[in-house]
Each structure stands twice: as structure tokens, then as C-alpha cells.
């Protein structure tokens, strides 16, 4: 019981330090969550969900990358 409490403390009480490219990588699981929940709502058949979620996940990630690149270019031009 003490070990479980200690594990919970380590997991959920102590914050994790994220820096550099790690913060960009955190987009991937969040986009996956959004894709899975949205496609679970939209798909009529449950067996269609994995592929539809994967397509949406790739779309979100590529879309966010495109937005990031556009904003970076705009920043470089306006700087």
C-alpha cells in the first residue's frame, strides 16, 4: 500500500520537466485522443474507427505542422 502511494506520488504529484523538441512531441498523443474520440462519435460502424482515427490524426499533425511553418515564415519576414 505504501509502495502504491509512493508510485502515485511520483506519477501524479511530481511534475515532469519538458523542454526543447519534447513540447512539440506532446502534440502527437493529444491529436490521437482528439482523432479517436471524434471518429468514435462519427463512424457508424465500430470497425471503421481505427483507420478513420489514423487518417484524422495524420491530418491534424500535418495541418499543425503547416500552420507552424506558415507562422515561422511570417515571423521571419516581419521581424
Partner 1 sequence: MAGETSRAAASARRAVRTRSTPLTAALAWLLPGLGHWYLGHRDRASIFFVTIVVTFWGGVALGGVRSTMNVQDNGAWFAAQLCAGVQSVGALMWSKTIPDRLELTATYPTVDIAVVYTGIAGLLNLLVIIDALARAEAVNAPDLSSPRPAGGGGP
Residue among 77, 31, 39 nearest 58 (CA): 31
CB atoms inside a 10 Å sphere around CB 61: 15
User: Toward partner 1, which CB reaches closer, 20 or 77?
Assistant: 20
Residue 79 binds partner 1 (CB under 8 A):
no
Interface size with partner 1, residues (CB under 8 A): 22
Contact 30, 48 (CB under 8 A): no
Per-residue binding letters, 43-72, with partner 1 (x by CB under 8 A):
---x--x-----------------------
Whole-angstrom Cα distance, residue 74 to residue 30?
A: 26
Instruction: Give me the residues that bind partner 1 (CB under 8 A), please.
Output: 11-19, 23, 26, 29-30, 33-34, 36-38, 40-41, 46, 49
Amino acid at each position: 500500500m505504501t509502495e502504491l502511494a509512493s508510485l502515485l506520488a511520483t506519477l501524479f504529484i511530481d511534475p515532469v520537466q519538458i523542454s526543447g523538441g519534447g513540447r512539440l512531441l506532446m502534440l502527437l498523443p493529444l491529436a490521437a485522443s482528439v482523432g479517436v474520440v471524434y471518429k468514435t462519435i462519427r463512424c457508424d460502424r465500430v470497425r471503421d474507427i481505427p483507420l478513420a482515427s489514423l487518417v484524422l490524426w495524420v491530418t491534424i499533425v500535418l495541418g499543425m505542422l503547416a500552420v507552424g511553418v506558415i507562422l515561422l515564415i511570417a515571423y521571419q519576414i516581419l521581424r
